[in-house]
Structure 1
């Protein structure tokens, strides 16, 4: 079960601060398939990056199975990325000098 509660994330500071995630709540059951749609810049990638442990939220909680995180920095949620989240990047993050098999093995 993935549970996201009152998740907030912004960038910048002061008058230049942009609040991207404003109290997001989400609950997904294991095996449930969802689609996220919206215009460019609305926070889709930010939400996925926070859930995936690549970005730290400003506030709120995320529970994914045995893991509970949200405002913990990426270097403190390594186990989430290792054992809780699968990630397919929008752009290819491959090493040109390696074969496809070696790229997968290296990951």
Structure 2
């Protein structure tokens, strides 16, 4: 996403991918300065990664805590897998940095 869209989302409290994945198009459209172009850019960026916003099932739809936890855990698994791929390909110094990060997450490879 462009810096403009990232900054706009951050100003509205959406600072992580997990935050964004818990939003609906209708939620984002309510933010100031978000129009069709911004929504299209967000949708395209998510689609490039095989992701999407929550469906607009009505104004009262909210994901359950179970759904929110599932999204968070799925992203943690993806992150750990990515770190494993990077770790296998890089220098000992980078592997040490990754091990430190994993330890902070309470994860191991």
TM-score using structure 1 length: 0.29
Higher share of residues assigned helix: 2
TM-score using structure 2 length: 0.29
Higher share of residues assigned strand: 1
Instruction: Determine which structure has more spread, i.e. the larger CA radius of gyration.
Output: 2
